[in-house]
């Protein structure tokens, strides 16, 4: 197995672990009436494992994708990008939290869709995404599923978390989000998303070229994800997906870009590749934690309870994700994911 095939194997394991883990854990939680804090565990773990660390090598990936050694100049560039984009977005959170929340859902969808288009094209070597329109539709499908299926399936919980997030800044701003949680709102979302998914899969099938297997993988993942987010309560479902699906896939991508980690994968020594990643990601994972600490000080209210602590963490993730999306978009360009 070469390095790329190894990343594909890991990505597939992560996908299965996400769906099976979520379905098993949530069933077990009901059968054994486990306490609700269990649902917050994946997000808790994501602070140090997979989740936050997946973006903590952003300062290294662009030079590596260009076949260069990371130098101070490029790292400083990424630092300034984070400061500027993250800083402006923090201000938006403090001034217009409902708008910032809506933007967060949109950016998350864009970013998670962007990650899956890469995985499909590079790990799975799809032939049905050669066309730009198919790629854009697939991005929309893969990104919308984690953000919209929970809204349709678990509106109460979705609204509760949204309220906790926005309420950390301004409890009265929450009313702006209400239309999304009405019956009509959810019907429109369900119908729109269903149509988009069907049309995208059919368009993909028509474009398959020779081997149909990658298309079947795409379709199975898509349908699996819809079922997963429809059945598993959202905090657990999104937390697990964030770690074992999105972050894992991105980390595997960064391993392919790093000559040392890639060499280790090539030798079949995944453990060495993971050690190398952990070393690279540790300093700025701590940096990310510091950002969340500073954010806690900037908020008008200190978070109390699980929902509000998750809310603080999510605002932190939001602020760190926006510049991360820019880095990944640059990476996509360098690697020709959209060519
Ligand atoms: C947990 C949760 C929510 C939002 C999670 C989001 C938006 C996470 C984004 C994570 C990112 C961007 C990670 C970086 O890759 C909702 C939908 C508000 C309500 C249900 C519970
Ligand atoms: Fe990411």
> DSSP per residue over 281-326, as a string?
HHHHHHHHHHHHHHHHHHSSS---HHHHHHHHHHHHHHHHHHHHHH
Q: What is the mean pLDDT of the chain?
A: 95
Mean pLDDT, residues 221-237: 98
Question: What is the pLDDT, as a whole number, of residue 1?
Answer: 84
pLDDT digits (tens, 9 = 90+) for 125-177: 999 999 999 999 999 999 999 999 999 999 999 999 999 999 999 988 888 88
pTM of the model: 0.96
- Which listed ligand is nearest to 320 at the C-alpha? 1
Mean pLDDT, residues 199-206: 96
pLDDT digits (tens, 9 = 90+) for 237-266: 999 999 999 999 999 999 999 999 999 999
- Quote the ligand 2 centre to 115 CA distance (angstroms): 7
Question: Which of 41-45, 74-78, 178-182 reaches the highest mean pLDDT?
Answer: 41-45
Question: What is the pLDDT, as a whole number, of residue 192?
Answer: 98
CB proximity list for 113: less than 8 A, separation 6 or greater:
138, 139, 140, 141, 142, 143, 144
246 is in an annotated binding site: yes
Mean pLDDT, residues 56-79: 94
Burial of 251 (0-12, 13-18, 19+ CB in 10 A): buried
- Which listed ligand is nearest to 329 at the C-alpha? 2
Q: From atom 21 of ligand 1, which residue's Cα is the shortest distance away? A: 235
């Amino acid at each position: 197995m070469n390095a790329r095939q190894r990343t594909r194997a890991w990505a597939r394991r992560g996908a299965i672990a996400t769906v099976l883990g979520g379905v098993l854990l949530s069933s077990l939680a009901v059968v054994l009436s486990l306490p609700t804090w269990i649902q917050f565990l994946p997000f808790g773990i994501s602070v140090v494992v997979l989740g936050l660390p997946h973006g903590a090598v952003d300062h290294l990936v662009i030079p590596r994708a260009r076949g260069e050694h990371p130098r101070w100049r490029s790292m400083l560039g990424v630092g300034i990008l984070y400061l500027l984009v993250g800083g402006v977005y923090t201000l938006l959170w403090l001034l217009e939290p409902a708008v910032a929340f809506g933007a967060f859902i949109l950016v998350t969808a864009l970013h998670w869709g962007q990650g899956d288009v890469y995985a499909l094209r590079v790990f799975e070597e799809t032939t049905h995404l050669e066309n730009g329109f198919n790629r854009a539709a697939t991005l929309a499908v893969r990104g919308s599923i984690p953000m919209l299926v929970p809204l349709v399936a678990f509106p109460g919980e979705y609204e509760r978390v949204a309220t906790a997030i926005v309420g950390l800044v301004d409890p009265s701003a929450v009313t702006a989000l209400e239309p999304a949680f009405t019956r009509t709102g959810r019907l429109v979302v369900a119908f729109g998303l269903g149509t988009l998914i069907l049309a995208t899969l059919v368009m993909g099938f028509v474009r398959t070229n020779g081997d149909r297997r990658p298309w079947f993988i795409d379709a199975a993942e898509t349908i699996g994800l819809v079922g997963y987010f429809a059945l598993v309560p959202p905090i657990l479902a999104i937390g697990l997906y964030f770690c074992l699906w999105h972050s894992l896939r991105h980390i595997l991508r960064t391993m392919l870009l790093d000559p040392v980690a890639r060499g280790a994968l090539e030798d079949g020594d995944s453990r060495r590749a993971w050690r190398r990643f952990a070393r690279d990601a540790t300093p700025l994972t701590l940096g990310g934690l510091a950002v969340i600490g500073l954010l806690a000080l900037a908020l008008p209210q200190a978070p109390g309870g699980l929902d509000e602590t998750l809310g603080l963490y999510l605002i932190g993730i939001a602020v760190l994700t926006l510049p991360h999306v820019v880095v990944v978009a640059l990476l996509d360009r360098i690697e020709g994911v959209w060519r």
